[in-house]
């Protein structure tokens, strides 16, 4: 961690350093420390032991314990033995910035379409002081090169967008850039890029910026690592003419030598950027809306429950960031106080703290706005999470509480042939297990991840099938797997309607004698059922009534937790379902 400005009270790493060494007198120390913990976890890839956090932040162990306990209460981290792990809900901080910025909502689909058209990765980046930060990635995964995540910060001079942004730099910006290069010649303050092996001369980037100003595009010829090349074009704000973000196509020398990028990819990138600019011009003004009210009112109850371990000023301060959002890009102190329910003086001190940390700016005397640096608070490591990853800690907790094994599954089209399929002879939709948690009991249902089963005879499958429009439910042949299996298509259709109406499926020894299971749906932000969650047991363990009475509320509560994490995570990133 180089370029740290204050060991005790400033988020570490080169990328978050406060403007001045000494925090202003009104800064909220627990908030500064909480931000430092989130930045260290982010730079470490999402997980650090509590003692490593203690070393990285320079904070006392008791302070680290209280901060992580508070972040855990907020759902921002998970405490897993001796480790603190970033949890999906922390993405609501980055989401607040991305929603306020609006560019992802307006441009992501165009970027994705261009990536499909070219079969190359496409990204959108904004300027973050003397660096660039990604706000969108449409990644074509390739074995050959590293790829960056939403929220990653790169040194401007090692990228194609950098020289374009530098065309708008002031003398102060150039000065800051030179100072940073002198203090950190190997780019150690940018954990997303490999350290620089040999120094580059300032003039090279100055010339690249001058060229970018003339040409209206810029190239990256293996500035980050051998083979990685990119071409970038600015997307200008139609109102101000200034660069709103930069769109890049990223490739590899094995497919596009850098010299060829100009002829091959640049014309298509330019055409896509023209359309993006039209999209920005035609976008209706964002709905101002009333905004959230009383975001921070829950903190008092947590304080009562957790006592000294809950740092209320940290929890309250963090909710200040979530007061911003779509149509709420610039807020006054009054707006922030209203949205959070905090006293004006408390909200003001939080905003001053954030300004000191470079997380908030003042576009005018009266207003505050989030900066791209908010993405350094946990976003990048979680931006590639998957539903099984999101669900696993919740499944484990549920399995411990109910002392039964729990599973998550998705619907897959039938496999050709019977390989990997238990109990099936015909074809039809199947479920596939994507996450599991088992208990230590001897008699436990044991199903390996990846196992496929016929959907019609399982509780998981019925929950997934019930969400499909009846016309799309091609169930295939229905075989009797036990004497109880429902094999009459009409009876099954009625059963699925019941599942749909009740919100759960209870299946009793239809797949296998001695196996009873109950499942509930997991829905995405649009309300579509994307997975199902269940528990299965021997019928002797619980009566059908006990399943409904004891297990169903537990399953529903767990599905709600998984859903709520999923909805935060998928707002601006693609969350893989398996
Ligand atoms: C990227 O999107 O990963 C990217 C963009 C521009 C560069 C390098 C990488 O110069």
Q: What is the pLDDT of residue 146?
A: 77
Longest C-alpha distance within the chain, in Å?
81
> Bigger pLDDT: 146 or 378?
378
Pairing of the two strands 83-86 and 77-80? antiparallel
Average pLDDT value over all residues in the chain:
92
Q: What is the pLDDT of residue 474?
A: 86
Task: Measure CA of the first residue to CA of the last residue in the chain; give whole Å.
Answer: 35
3-state secondary structure 218-254: EEEECCCCCCEEEEEEEEECCCCCCEEEEEEEEEECC
Look at phi and psi of residue 420 and say left if phi exceeds 0, alpha if psi is from -120 to 50, else beta. left
pLDDT in tens, 246-284: 999 999 999 998 888 999 999 999 999 999 999 999 999
Q: What is the pLDDT of residue 419?
A: 46
DSSP state of 328: B
Residue 143 pLDDT level (bands cut at 50, 70, 90)? low
How far does residue 165's CA lie from ligand 1's centre (Å)? 14
Closest CA to 467 of 431, 511, 416: 431
CA nearest neighbour of 457 among 423, 502, 413:
423
CATH homologous superfamily, domain 387-569: GAF domain (3.30.450.40)
Helix then strand then coil, % of the chain, to nearest 5 = 45, 20, 40
Residues 6+ apart with CB under 8 A from 332: 366, 367, 368
Ligand 1 center to 39 CA (angstroms): 22
Averaged pLDDT, 195-216 = 96
Q: Which residue has the higher pLDDT, 144 or 253?
A: 253
Same topology between domain 103-282 and domain 387-569: yes
Provide the pLDDT for residue 187: 96
| Residue 358 · residue 16 · CB < 8 Å | yes
Q: What is the pLDDT of residue 422?
A: 52
Domain residue spans in the chain? 29-91+288-382, 103-282, 387-569
With CA atoms as reference, report the closest residue to 390 among 158, 168, 75.
Answer: 75
Distance in angstroms (rounded) separating the CA atoms of residues 249 and 400: 47
Distance 493 CA to ligand 1 centre (A): 50
Pocket test for ligand 1, best of 114, 122, 123 (most atoms within 8 A of CB): 123
From ligand 1's centre to the CA of 248, what distance in Å?
6
Q: How confident is the model at residue 426 (pLDDT cuts 50, 70, 90)?
A: low
Residue 287: pLDDT band (50, 70, 90) is confident
Chain position carrying tokens 């202003």: 24
Pocket of ligand 1 (CB under 6 A): 121, 123, 147-148, 159-161, 220, 224, 230, 232, 248, 250
The pick from 112, 114, 120, 121 for probing ligand 1's pocket by mutation, whose C-beta has the most ligand atoms within 8 angstroms, reads: 121
Q: H-helix or E-strand containing 432?
A: strand 430-437
Q: Are 190 and 155 in contact (CB under 8 A)?
A: yes
* Residue 76 Cα to ligand 1 middle (Å): 29
Determine the average pLDDT of the residues in 61-73: 98
Q: Are 37 and 64 in contact (CB under 8 A)?
A: yes
Q: Is 212 left (phi over 0), alpha (psi -120 to 50) or beta?
A: alpha
196 pLDDT more than 60: yes
Q: Could you tell me if 421 and 453 are in contact, meaning their C-beta atoms sit under 8 angstroms apart?
A: yes
| Minimal-distance CA residue to ligand 1 atom 2 | 123
Residue 144 has a CB neighbour count (10 Å cut-off) of: 13
pLDDT of res. 214 = 98
Please tell me the distance from the alpha carbon of residue 578 to that of residue 435, in angstroms, as a whole number.
9
pLDDT given for residue 260 in this prediction:
85
Which atom belonging to ligand 1 lies closest to the Cα atom of 134? 2
The closest-lying atom of ligand 1 relative to the alpha carbon of residue 148 is 3
Residue 15 CA to residue 370 CA, distance in Å, equals: 16
Phi, psi of 436 (to 5 degrees): -150, 150
Ligand 1 centroid–CA 546 distance in Å is 55
Q: Per residue in 321-375, pLDDT tens?
A: 999 999 999 999 999 999 999 999 999 999 999 999 999 999 999 999 999 999 9
How far away, in angstroms, is 38 Cα from ligand 1 center? 25
What is the pLDDT at residue 20?
Answer: 58
Closest approach atom of ligand 1 to CA 223: 10
Closest Cα to atom 4, ligand 1: which residue? 250
Mean pLDDT of 179-202: 94
Q: What's the confidence (pLDDT) of residue 472? A: 85
At residue 558 the predicted structure's pLDDT band, cuts being 50, 70 and 90, is very high
Tell the CATH topology of 29-91+288-382: Arc Repressor Mutant, subunit A (1.10.10)
Predicted local confidence at residue 443, as pLDDT: 61
Which of 111, 115, 125 has most ligand 1 atoms within 8 Å of its beta carbon, as the pocket-test mutant? Answer: 125
Rounded Cα distance, 123 and 108, in Å? 9
Q: How confident is the model at residue 440 (pLDDT cuts 50, 70, 90)?
A: confident
Q: What is the pLDDT of residues 458-470, one digit of tens each?
A: 999 999 999 999 8
Give the mutation target among 155, 228, 266 for probing the ligand 1 site: most ligand atoms within 8 A of CB: 228
Which ligand 1 atom lies nearest to the CA of residue 160? 10
Ligand 1 mutation target, pool 131, 161, 231, most atoms within 8 A of CB = 161
Instruction: Render pLDDT for 477-534 as a digit per residue (tens, 0 to 9).
Output: 999 999 999 999 999 999 999 999 999 999 999 999 999 999 999 999 999 999 999 9
Calculate how far, in angstroms, residue 192's C-alpha sits from the geometric centre of ligand 1: 11
Percent of residues, the chain, with pLDDT higher than 90: 85
Give the residues across from 122 on adjacent strands.
Answer: 138, 249
Q: How far apart (Å, rounded) are the C-alpha atoms in residues 3 and 436?
A: 43
- Residue nearest atom 8 in ligand 1 by C-alpha distance: 159
Please name the helix (run of DSSP H) or strand (run of DSSP E) that holds residue 507, with its range, or none.
Answer: strand 505-508
For residue 147, give the ligand 1 atom closest to its CA: 3
- Cα 415 versus chain centre, distance: 31
Return the DSSP state at 421.
Answer: B
DSSP 325: B
Query: What is d(CA 395, CA 405) in angstroms, rounded to the nearest whole number?
Result: 8
Q: Hey, which CATH number is domain 103-282, 3.10.150.10, 3.30.450.40, 3.40.710.10, 3.40.50.300?
A: 3.30.450.40
Distance 247 CA to ligand 1 centre (A): 9
| Residue range 558-574: mean pLDDT, rounded | 98
Q: For position 3, what pLDDT does the model report?
A: 35
């Amino acid at each position: 961690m180089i370029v740290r400005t204050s060991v005790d009270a400033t988020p570490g790493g080169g990328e978050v350093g406060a403007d001045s060494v000494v925090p202003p007198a009104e800064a909220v120390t627990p908030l500064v420390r909480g931000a430092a913990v989130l930045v260290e976890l982010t730079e470490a890839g999402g997980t650090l032991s509590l003692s490593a956090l203690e070393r990285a932040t320079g904070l006392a162990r008791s302070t680290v314990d209280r901060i992580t306990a508070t972040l855990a209460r907020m759902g921002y981290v998970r405490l897993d033995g001796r480790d603190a792990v970033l949890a999906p809900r922390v993405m609501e901080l980055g989401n607040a910035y991305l929603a306020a910025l609006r560019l992802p909502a307006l441009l992501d689909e165009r970027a994705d379409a261009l990536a499909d058209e070219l079969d190359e990765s496409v990204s959108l980046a904004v300027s973050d002081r003397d660096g660039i930060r990604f706000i969108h990635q449409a990644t074509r995964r390739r074995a050959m090169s590293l790829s960056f995540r939403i929220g990653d910060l790169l040194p401007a001079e090692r990228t194609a967008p950098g020289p374009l942004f530098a065309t708008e730099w002031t003398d102060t910006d150039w000065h800051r850039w030179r100072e940073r290069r002198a203090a950190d010649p190997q780019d150690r303050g940018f954990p997303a890029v490999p350290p620089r092996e040999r120094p580059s001369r300032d003039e090279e980037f100055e010339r690249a910026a001058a060229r970018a100003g003339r040409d209206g595009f810029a190239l990256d010829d293996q500035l980050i690592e051998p083979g990685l090349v990119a071409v970038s074009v600015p997307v200008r704000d139609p109102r101000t003419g200034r660069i709103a973000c930069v769109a890049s196509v990223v490739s590899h020398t094995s497919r596009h030598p850098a010299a060829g990028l100009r002829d091959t990819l640049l014309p298509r990138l330019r055409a896509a950027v023209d359309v993006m600019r039209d999209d920005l011009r035609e976008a209706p003004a964002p709905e101002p809306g009333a905004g959230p009210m009383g975001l921070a009112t829950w903190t008092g109850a947590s304080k009562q429950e957790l006592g000294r371990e809950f740092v209320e000023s940290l929890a309250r301060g963090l909710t200040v960031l979530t007061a911003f959002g779509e149509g709420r890009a610039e807020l006054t102190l009054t707006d922030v106080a209203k949205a959070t329910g905090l006293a004006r003086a408390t909200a003001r001190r939080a905003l001053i703290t954030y300004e000191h940390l470079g997380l908030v700016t003042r576009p005018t005397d009266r207003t505050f706005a989030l900066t791209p640096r908010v993405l350094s608070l946990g976003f990048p490591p979680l931006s590639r999470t998957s539903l099984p990853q999101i669900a696993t800690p919740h499944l484990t907790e549920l399995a411990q509480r109910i002392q039964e094994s729990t599973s998550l599954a998705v619907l897959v089209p039938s496999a050709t042939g019977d390989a990997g399929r238990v109990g099936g002879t015909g074809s039809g939709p199947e479920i596939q297990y994507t996450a599991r948690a088992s208990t230590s009991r001897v008699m436990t249902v044991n199903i390996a991840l990846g196992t496929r089963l016929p959907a019609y005879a399982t509780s998981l499958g019925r929950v997934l099938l019930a969400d499909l429009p009846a016309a799309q439910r091609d169930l295939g042949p229905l075989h009797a797997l036990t004497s109880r299996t429902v094999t009459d298509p009409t009876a099954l259709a009625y059963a699925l309607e019941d599942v749909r109406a009740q919100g759960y499926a209870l299946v009793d020894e239809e797949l296998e004698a001695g196996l009873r299971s109950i499942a509930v749906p997991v829905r995405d932000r649009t309300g579509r059922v994307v997975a199902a969650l269940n528990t299965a047991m021997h019928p002797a363990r619980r009566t059908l009534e006990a399943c409904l009475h004891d297990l169903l509320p537990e399953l529903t509560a767990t599905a709600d937790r998984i859903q709520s994490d999923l909805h935060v995570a998928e707002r601006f990133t693609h969350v893989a379902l398996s």
